[in-house]
Chain A
Amino acid sequence: MQETMQKWVAWFKELGENGHIKDPGNPLEHGGTIVRGKEKTVTDGPYAEAKDVVNGYLVVEAKDLAQATELAKGCPNLAIGGSVEVRPIERLAR
C-alpha cells in the first residue's frame, strides 16, 4: 500500500490510542442513537458497497473453466449486449 495511506493509518491509530475514537464495540448495539429529534435523519451517501458491489456476479458451480464458459454463454446479459467474465473462485479454508 502507498505511503500516503500509511500516514493516514498511523494517524488513525494514534487517535484511537489517545481515546479520540469511540469504542466501536458491537456496532449492532448502537442502534438506539440513530433517532435524533422528531424526524428520522438518514442520509444517503456515495458508498461503493451498496451502489457498486451489489450488481455483482453470479456464482456458478462448474467442474472446470470450460464448462463454466459454456454455462456463461446462456447468461441473459449477453442478449442485451452485456459481457460475462468467467473467473475461478478459490475456496479458502473449506
Chain B
Amino acid sequence: VTQSSDQIFRREAGRMVAALTRVFGMDNLSLAEDVVQDAFVSALEVWKFRGIPENPSAWLMTAAKNRAISVLRRRRTAQSYESELSWYLQSEWTLTPAVEELFSPSAIKDDLLRMMFSCCHAQLSEEAQVSLILNILCGFSIEEVAQAFLSAHDAAQKRIVRAKGVLAKSKRLFDVKSEKEFVARLPTVQRALYLLFNEGYHGASSDAPVRRELCSEAMHLAALLLSHPAAATPTSHALAALMCLHAARLPARMDSSGDLVSLSNHDRSRWDQELISDGLKLLELAASGNELSEYHIEAAIAAIHAQADSMNATDWGEIVRLYDTLMALTPSPIVALNRAIAISQNEGPERGLKEIDAIVHGEWLESYPFYAAARGELELRCGQPEVAYRQFQKALSVARNDTERRFFGARLRQCEKADELRAYLEIFWDDAVSNYRDAAESRHWRA
C-alpha cells in the first residue's frame, strides 16, 4: 500500500499544487504545498483502514479542495491572494463555486502548464528552474533532484529553498498567453520533462532504478505541451519522440525477477511497436525548421536502436556520428561517456577505453555508477578481468539501489569467472604452444 500510495502522491502532487497556487496565489506557494501535504497525510490515515479508493486522484483533489476552502474561510485576507480571483474568494456565495471551477480537470490541465512556466522565473538559473519543476510539479525529493544534476544534496536543497523564495515574491503566475515569454521559457520546461523521463527510465532512486510511472507522467506532460500551439515546436516533438522511442524498450529492460537486462539480451519482440511507430512519426514532425536540439539527435539515436534487429545489426557508426554532433552541440562528460561506449561497439573495447580516458571532466562522473561500470565492461572485453573487477567494485560502491547492486555484484562474479577461465585458457594455450614446439622439433629432427 505504501509504495502505490507514494506513486499516487507523486503523480497528483503537481496537479494539486498547481491548482492550489491558483487559489492562494504564487506568494502563498508554501501554503499550497502545506495543503497538499495535509491531504496526503489524511489520505494515508484513511486509506490505511479502508484501502486505496477506486479513484484516488479524485479523492485527493476533493480533500485538497475542501481544505483550501476552509483555509480561505479562516483567512479572508483576499488581497494576499491572486488578484483576478480575490473578488470571488471574498464572498461566501462565490467562494465554493470558484474553487470548484479551479479544480475542474480542464482548469487543472492549464494550471499545470502555467505552473511549469511560472517555475521558469527569469531571476533563476536554469538549474534552479528545472529543480523547481521537478520538486514542486513532479514530486521529486531533494535527493532525486540532486541526483538528476549529479550534485550534492545540500547544494540542491539550498537551490530549491532559494528558488521558492524568488517564486513567492513574484506574486503573479505566469501568463501563458504572452507568447514571447512563453517561447523563452519553453527550453527549461522541456529540460525538466526530459529529466523526469530520465528518472523513470533509469534514475537514482534508492528504491528502484526503473519507474515506468514517471516515464508515463513525463510523456503525459509532453503531450500536454504538444497540445498547446505555442509549445508544439519541432523541439517539443523531438522530445516527445525520444520519450516514445526509449519507452518502447522498457518492457524488455527488466526480467521477471526484477533484474536489469542488457541491450544485447533484450527480447526485442517485447519492444512496444506502437510506441516505436508513434516515436518515428513524432521524429518526422520534429524534422522541420532550422533549430537542431539535443533532443533531435538523441531521438535519432533512439530511433536507430528501436529499428535494429540486434546489437550486431545496429548501425553503431551512425550512432557515433550522431554523438559527435551531440558533443559539439551540448558537450558534457555524460554525452562523452555514451559516445565512448558507442565507439567501443564499433571499433573495439581498447579504443573505447581510450575515449573514456580522454573524457574532459571525467572526475565529475565519479559518483555516477555507469562511469566505472563502462570501464569495467570494456576492460573485461579486453581480457583484463582483474582490472575490470576493481572498476565494478567502484561502480558497486556508488550504486544507488539494490537492483544496481545486484547487477554490479553479478558482474563482479563474472569477472572472477573470467579470471578462472583465462587461467584455464592460458594453461590450454601453453599446452598448445609446447605441443606445437614438440611437433616442430620432431619434424626438424626428422628432416
Contact = CB atoms under 8 A, between A and B. Distances in A.
Nearest to A50: B370
B334 A43 contact: yes
A31 B290 contact: no
Contacts of A5: 280, 283, 300, 303-304, 307
B381 A59 contact: yes
Interface stretch (B62-70, B87-95, B166-174, B322-330): B322-330
Nearest to A90: B312
B377 interface: yes
A77 B341 contact: no
A75 B410 CA distance: 10
B115 interface: no
Contacts of B333: 34, 42
B418 A49 contact: no
B235 to A, nearest CB: 13
A25 B324 CA distance: 8
Interface string A35-46: 101011111111
B332 interface: yes
A25 B328 contact: yes
A64 interface: no
A41 B292 CA distance: 20
A53 B339 CA distance: 12
A51 B202 contact: yes
Give the size category of A's interface with B.
35 or more
A39 B342 contact: no
B440 interface: no
Interface string B347-388: 000000001001011001100101101100100110100000
Interface in B154-201: 155, 191, 194-195, 197-198, 201
B381 A56 contact: yes
B59 interface: no
B307 A44 contact: no
Interface stretch (B6-14, B77-85, B96-104, B261-269): B261-269
B152 to A, nearest CB: 11
B370 A54 contact: yes
B106 interface: no
A65 interface: no
Nearest to A8: B287
A86 to B, nearest CB: 12
Nearest to B341: A49
Interface centre among B290, B329, B380 (most CB of A within 10 A): B290
B188 to A, nearest CB: 12
Q: Taking each of A30, A59, A71, which has the highest tally of chain B beta carbons within 10 Å of its own beta carbon?
A: A30
B345 A53 contact: yes
A8 B325 contact: no
Interface in B394-422: 407, 410-411, 413-414, 416-418, 421
B341 A50 contact: yes
B307 A1 contact: yes
A75 B414 contact: yes
B197 A55 contact: no
Given A42-B332, A47-B334, A27 B198 contact: no
Given A43-B332, A50-B374, A7 B284 contact: yes
A47 B292 CA distance: 18
B331 A18 contact: no
Contacts of A35: 361
B138 interface: no
Nearest to B294: A45
B150 A43 contact: yes
Given A8-B286, A49-B339, 16 more contacts: A7-B287, A8-B287, A20-B290, A27-B331, A41-B149, A42-B150, A43-B191, A46-B202, A49-B337, A50-B371, A53-B263, A55-B411, A56-B377, A58-B418, A60-B421, A75-B414
Interface of B: 125-127, 147-151, 155, 191, 194-195, 197-198, 201-204, 242, 246, 249, 253, 255, 257, 259-266, 280-281, 283-284, 286-288, 290-292, 296, 298, 300-305, 307, 311, 319, 323-325, 327-329, 331-339, 341-342, 345, 355, 358, 360-361, 364-365, 368, 370-371, 373-374, 377, 380-381, 383, 407, 410-411, 413-414, 416-418, 421, 425
17 contacts: A7-B284, A22-B329, A33-B331, A42-B365, A43-B332, A43-B334, A45-B198, A46-B242, A49-B338, A51-B370, A52-B249, A53-B264, A54-B262, A55-B411, A74-B417, A76-B413, A80-B410
Interface of A: 1-2, 4-5, 7-8, 10-12, 15, 18, 20-25, 27-28, 30-35, 37, 39-61, 71, 74-77, 80-83, 85
